[in-house]
């Protein structure tokens, strides 16, 4: 119960790693606001948490809208009395060569991944300051925030921006005792990665650059988030924690894997 009596908002929590954060945080004692644009899946995740005795509500929120993000944070405070933890997890992928990225794709990916993270951080921070909470904001970056990837269009650039938003918000929030950190996952088995993970060529490439030789399960990333959100990480701010199976430590590719 490392997050006992905390209140957490998680965007993009209707499935994938966001769902894993929501379920694990609830197990650790937090009340959860499950936020997403996938209403049916979001309601199901919420019902699942409540069925196990947890506290949770579902709130529809498109993170590209300041009005909706603002209403989301207000909903957390009115429903559970405070706001302690926010995970800016919602994001869109972009697969293909950067030369093929259209204006429309670039605008959509940056609207969700960068502006959505910016709005989530800013609106969360306002509530934490107003409530005098020494809260924690966790952004979601990626290994491709620091290394290029010729299969992911403009997505790596959007995650690079998330890393700098993390550092910038961390500096701004430090005087308030609010920590702002990020997680940089390597490949994780979710709907977002279903295409690459089912393509034998991409899967082979992925394993060749992952020393642990496999993609992660969502719960392995959620475990990192519990630590960062907990008081055990009380001196950690402005950092991105890479849970990447060793990818960023690797220079040459791994010997051939199955
Ligand atoms: N899966 C991976 O391999 C991997 C690796 C590195 C980083 N990440 C990051 O982890 C996070 C979760 O990824 P995932 O793999 O679980 O993806 P996913 O596609 O399974 O889940 C993303 C969720 O975000 C929601 N979302 C999308 N646009 C939204 C919007 N405008 N407003 C609100 N919600 C919106 C989706 O509905 C979905 O539920 C993302 O930030 C992603 O970039 C994933």
* Rounded distance between C-alpha atoms, residue 202 and residue 199, angstroms: 5
DSSP string, 53-112: T--EEEEE--TT-HHHHHHHHHHHHHHHS---EEEE-------B-GGG--HHHHHHHHII
User: CA gyration radius for the chain?
Assistant: 18
- Residue bearing tokens 């394993």: 207
Q: What angle do CA 162, 165, 171 make, to 5 degrees?
A: 145
Does residue 114 line the site of ligand 1, with CB under 6 A? Answer: no
Distance 50 CA to ligand 1 centre (A): 23
Mark whether 155 is an active-site residue: yes
Using a 10 angstrom Cβ sphere, with 0-12 exposed, 13-18 middle and 19 or more buried, the burial of residue 236 is middle
The pLDDT assigned to 252 comes to 87
Who's near 175: CB < 8 A, 6+ residues apart?
none
Write the residue with the smallest CA distance to atom 32 of ligand 1: 62
Does residue 120 line the site of ligand 1, with CB under 6 A? Answer: no
Q: 0.75 exceeded by the pTM? A: yes
For the stretch 47-78, pLDDT in tens is 999 999 999 999 999 999 999 999 999 999 99
Write the residue with the smallest CA distance to atom 9 of ligand 1: 140
- Dihedral (CA of 78, 42, 113, 244) sign: positive
Q: Which of 21, 151, 155, 242 is catalytic?
A: 155
Distance 124 CA to ligand 1 centre (A): 19
Does residue 13 line the site of ligand 1, with CB under 6 A? Answer: no
Does residue 156 line the site of ligand 1, with CB under 6 A? Answer: no
* Rounded distance between C-alpha atoms, residue 164 and residue 170, angstroms: 10
Instruction: Please give the CATH topology (third level) of the domain spanning 7-245.
Output: Rossmann fold (3.40.50)
* CA-to-CA separations, 197 to 187, 191, 223, in angstroms, rounded: 9, 10, 22
Does residue 221 line the site of ligand 1, with CB under 6 A? Answer: no
pLDDT above 80: residue 244: yes
pLDDT above 70: residue 257: no
Query: Dihedrals φ, ψ of 47, to 5°?
Result: -60, -40
Does residue 222 line the site of ligand 1, with CB under 6 A? Answer: no
For the stretch 222-241, pLDDT in tens is 999 999 999 999 999 999 99
* Rounded distance between C-alpha atoms, residue 137 and residue 171, angstroms: 12
Does residue 12 line the site of ligand 1, with CB under 6 A? Answer: yes
Q: What angle do CA 198, 204, 207 make, to 5 degrees?
A: 105
* Mean pLDDT (the chain, rounded): 97
Q: Which atom of ligand 1 is nearest to the CA of 17?
A: 16
pLDDT above 60: residue 91: yes
For the stretch 170-185, pLDDT in tens is 999 999 999 999 999 9
Write the residue with the smallest CA distance to atom 2 of ligand 1: 188
Q: What angle do CA 39, 218, 25 make, to 5 degrees?
A: 70
165: left (phi over 0), alpha (psi -120 to 50) or beta: alpha
For the stretch 101-118, pLDDT in tens is 999 999 999 999 999 999
- Contact predicate 235/202, CB 8 Å: no
Distance 193 CA to ligand 1 centre (A): 10
Domain ranges of the chain: 7-245
């Amino acid at each position: 119960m490392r997050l006992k009596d905390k209140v957490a908002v998680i965007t993009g929590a209707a499935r994938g790693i966001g769902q894993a954060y929501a379920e694990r945080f609830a197990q650790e004692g937090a009340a959860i606001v499950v936020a997403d644009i996938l209403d049916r899946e979001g309601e199901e995740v919420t019902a699942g948490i409540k069925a196990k005795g947890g506290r949770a509500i579902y709130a529809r929120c498109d993170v590209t809208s300041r009005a909706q993000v603002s209403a989301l944070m207000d909903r957390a405070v009115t429903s559970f009395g405070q706001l302690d933890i926010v995970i800016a997890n919602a994001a869109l992928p972009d697969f293909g060569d950067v030369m093929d990225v259209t204006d429309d794709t670039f605008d959509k990916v940056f609207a969700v991944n960068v502006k959505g993270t910016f709005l989530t951080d800013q609106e969360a921070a306002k509530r934490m300051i107003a409530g005098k909470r020494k809260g924690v904001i966790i952004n979601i970056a990626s290994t491709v925030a620091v290394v290029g990837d010729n299969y992911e269009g403009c997505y790596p650039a959007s995650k690079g921006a998330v890393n700098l938003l993390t550092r910038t918000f961390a500096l701004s929030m430090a005087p308030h005792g609010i920590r702002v950190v990020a997680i940089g996952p390597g490949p994780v088995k979710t709907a977002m990665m279903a295409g690459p993970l089912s393509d034998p060529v991409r899967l082979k490439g992925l394993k060749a650059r992952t020393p642990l030789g496999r993609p992660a399960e969502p719960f392995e990333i959620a475990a990192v988030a519990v630590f960062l959100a907990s008081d055990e990480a009380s001196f950690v701010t402005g950092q991105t924690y890479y849970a990447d199976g060793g990818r960023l430590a690797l220079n040459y590719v791994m010997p051939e894997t199955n």
